[in-house]
Structure 1
Amino acid sequence: MSKLKDLEWLFNGRHFDREVIVLCVRWYLRYKLSLRDLVEMMAERGLSLAHTTILRWVKRYTPEFVKRWNRLATVAGASWRVDETYVKIRGKWAYLYRAVDRAGKTIDFRLSARHDVATAKAFFVKAIRFQGRAPETITLDGYAASHRAVREMKADKSLPARTKLRSSKYLNNLIEQDHRHIKSRVNVMLGFKRLRNATVTLSGIELMHRIRKGQFDLTSVHLKDTTSPSIWMAVLSAR
């Protein structure tokens, strides 16, 4: 991971206070608000903002926020529930691969324009890298490409031979329910224009969902209220 810059660098040259920027980006990613909703809310506070300005902030700062929060992330469980859902990009469906553990904690996600064995493998590789360990159990639905991806990864030792593969629609109800929290936020956004921008925004939505689930060790910042601006400033400035 590259060395993080300090807050002065992060917000250098911006015409609005960093607290305003963090607030707008955080609210947009967390709540069912449109960009124009946020413009109105800021106007009530005496701030004149264009919706395009907030959108630029989301694109610019979301990766930085994710990077900083991830330093405090805790490791999820080794029993994974994996499933795919759909996100519309420029009028076409893209595939959102997601996984949670048996307690419902988020493992990782990956957005792709394709839906095949190679894409499933790419998701598993990304998730293993992010978690720092391979799963002991992977539970899938009946989608054949994902099953094949796991078998091939075990064969080439990308996954340990001990990793157990299960197929269970019932057990995967957990991940299907978890999709709803992400999709309910995405639906208000009325679709994305580019895969890259969609991935950035989804990473922020997933971050907010993980914060709600308590997937971060906040002892180093000495604050517990994840909704307060103070904890965001503490996380962003922590070394």
Structure 2
Amino acid sequence: MVTIIYQLLLIIQYQYKQICWLILFIARYIPLRQWAHDELHSPKYQKFLTDKLPIIIPFAKQDWQLWNEYYRLRYGKATKPVKPQKGKPHSVPSDTICPLCGAPHEYIYDNNGGRGQLKCKVCGQTFVNGKRVVSPLKLQCPYCGHALQPVKNRKHFRVHKCINSNCSYYKRNTKKIPKDTPPSDYWKYKLHYLYREFSVNFFDMDLSQLPKWATSFKYKKNSAYIMGLCLTYRVNLKLSLRQTVQALKDIHNIEISHTMVNSYAKTAAVIIKPFVDSYDYKPSNELAADETYIKIRGTKAYIWLIMDKVSRSILGYWVSMSRDAGPCILAMRMAFEKFKEFPGKALKFIADGYSAYPLAAQQFKIEKDWDVSVTQVIGLTNDDEVSKEHRPFKQIIERLNRTFKESYRVTCGYKADDGAVYSTTLWVAYYNFLRPHEKSCGKKPLNQVELLEGADNMPGKWQLLIYLGQQVILKQQTSVVSAVQVE
């Protein structure tokens, strides 16, 4: 018996050595599946990558007299005023001062031959016509400390690039390029550090501002109940405008035009939106986000949706004509405003591999000092551990997109931006407060409002939802008037 146990132990030790050798061999010579989306192995994923934030040195106002005192102590003499050429007056206007240190015009000289750029002799700052500073802040590479250079100007941002060939980030990426790649194909790979500086502040935009097409209800021929019927057929039953008109005529013998149905829907969306956006959803720390395609005037547009993974409520939504970081920031702002206190690093934010989400997270770090950790689930199959763990989040938001598309397909696209906005607003209100959800809520709405539970039918619930929106608008207007009176 002892001999058999001894032989088995020897076999187990031999197998252990073989397994260790195979693991080392695979790690060295066989690429693992989770490397499939590495930027150095798949150049087509370059646009999905986002580098970390640069070192930002902000613009700080200085005093030119302190500079002069420093020069006097350091070098034994202060900076002398600019001496113009013999027989020529000083070319800088007398009311010009340096925007950085405040030096008067005697210390400022023309820097580019009369084409508008000036330079201060005291602090060395360049500026244009004494008004605009050329470089209000300085951006440095977080890997080498080299100053970033602007290389591209886009509609809402500027791309800065680290051009230092000795940067550790550049050297590391260069070494990982496949050896058989010719130098002419290096442009396909992301080698240099890049940063996008946004020129539009998406955090100053008012998300609750009423649109320009907002109108009021005027029931000349019809009643509020007929308006509720229009919303029920239009939103709940996913009928088009003309199908809604036909249903009202065939079922209820009500004559109404599709233009009037459209006007009812647009106005109801404006009134309901404040209630939907300000409702206390009590969100969890697990959010899922995605964007889906729609058509506006025959052109591709996008709808951004952010939902709570636990309650399944839609917390953020936005309609945009472009698929960039700006609309993503606005949708995330709308979702994060539902938190009474931002959870910070405890927040689990799941999205796809699009680069707009990490870029938006960087802007929240800069503007709000919020740490938004974005976990990206790439592809349709679980090729890595991250996808395996967070695939259920992605499936939930994809099912939400499918539910939205069921109501969108009957429209065959929207003819105007406002049509897409009001249709999305009404659908979100219906999804959060009126639609029965079988699995999660037992054939009840996601958010049960006591006032809505008292209505016997769906047209009545739409009327009560409009009433709740009106109360929120009145409360907001009262608070604004009170704030103005206090001032």
TMscore range, shorter length: 0.7 to 0.9
For residue 376 of structure 2, the aligned residue among 161, 167, 173 is 167
Offset at residue 37 of structure 1 (A): 1.6
Q: 1:237 to 1:37 in 2, by over 3 A?
A: same
User: Which AA in structure 1 matches 2:266?
Assistant: K
What is the CA distance between 1:190 and its match in structure 2? 1.1
Secondary structure, counterpart of 1:85 in structure 2: strand
Question: 2:316 pairs with 108, 112, 119, which one?
Answer: 108
CA distance in 2, matches of 1:148, 1:226: 47
Alignment of 1:78-227 (within 5 A): 78-103=285-310, 104-130=312-338, 132-134=340-342, 136-154=347-365, 156-158=366-368, 160-161=370-371, 163-169=372-378, 170=391, 171-211=393-433, 212=435, 214-219=445-450, 221=451, 223=453, 227=457
Give 2:463's aligned amino acid: M
Partner letter of residue 196 of structure 1? D
Contact 2:231 2:462 in 1 (8 A): no
Corresponding position: 1:38 with 2:244:
yes
Kept in 2: contact 1:72–1:216 (CA 8 A): no
* Residues 146-198 of structure 1, C-alpha deviations (whole Å, 9 max, x = no match): 222213322x153622x432122523111011111111101101111111221
Deviates most, 166-175 or 16-25: 166-175
The aligned amino acid for 1:158 is K
Correspondence for 1:47: 254
TM-score, L = length of structure 1: 0.83
Which of 212, 215, 230 aligns to 1:24? It is 230
- Comparing 72-81 with 17-26, greater Cα deviation is found at 72-81
SS at match of 2:317: strand
User: Quick one: structure 1 residues 150 and 71, their matched pair in 2 at CA, closer, same or farther if it must change by over 3 Å?
Assistant: closer
Alpha-carbon deviations, 1:177-225, whole Å to 9, x = none?
Answer: 1111111101101111111221111110111111225243412x27266
In the TM superposition, what is the alpha-carbon distance from 1:125 to its structure 2 partner? 1.8
Relative to 1, partners in 2 of residues 1:232 and 1:55: Cα closer, same or farther, differing over 3 Å? closer
Distance in 2, matches of 1:152 and 1:226, equals: 46
The residue number in structure 2 matching 1:7 is none
CA contact 1:95–1:112 (8 Å) conserved in 2? yes
In 2: Cα distance, 1:50 partner to 1:72 partner:
33
Secondary structure of 1:20's counterpart equals helix
* Aligned residue among 227, 233, 236 for 2:463: 233
> Contact 1:85–1:179 (CA<8 Å) still a contact in 2?
yes
Distance 1:72 1:122 in 2: 18
Secondary structure, counterpart of 1:172 in structure 2 = helix
* TM-score of the superposed pair, with normalisation by structure 2: 0.43
Mean Cα displacement is larger for which, 204-213 or 86-95? Answer: 204-213
Q: Supply the distance in 2 between the matched residues of 1:206 and 1:93 (Cα, whole angstroms).
A: 21
Q: What are the Cα deviations for residues 52-81 of structure 1, in whole angstroms up to 9, with x where unaligned?
A: 221121122222133345565533323110
Q: Which amino acid aligns with 2:460?
A: S
Equivalences, count: 230
Per mean C-alpha deviation after superposition, the further-off stretch among 182-191 and 48-57 is: 48-57
* Inter-CA distance 130–189: structure 2 relative to 1 (3 Å threshold): farther
The separation in 2 between residues aligned to 1:101 and 1:183, in whole angstroms, is 19
If you compute each CA radius of gyration, which structure gives the higher value, 1 or 2? 2
**Structure 2 counterpart of 1:166, one-letter code:** T
Q: Alpha carbons of 1:224 and 1:173: their partners in 2 closer, same or farther (altered >3 Å)? A: farther
Gaps of 5+ in 1: 3-9
Gaps of 5+ in 2: 1-207, 210-215, 379-390, 438-444, 472-487
1:40 positional shift: 1.6
- Which residue of 1 is the match for residue 271 of structure 2? 64
Which stretch shifts more, 200-209 or 25-34? 25-34
Larger helix percent: 1
SS at match of 1:193: coil
CA pair 38-86 structure 1, distance change in 2 beyond 3 A: same
Q: Secondary structure at the match of 1:54?
A: helix
Per the alignment, in what secondary structure is the counterpart of residue 413 of structure 2? Answer: coil
Structure 1 residues 119, 40: CA separation in 2 closer, same or farther (over 3 Å shift)?
Answer: closer
Compute the RMSD of aligned alpha carbons.
2.7
Larger RCO of the pair (alpha carbons < 8 Å, separation 6+): 1
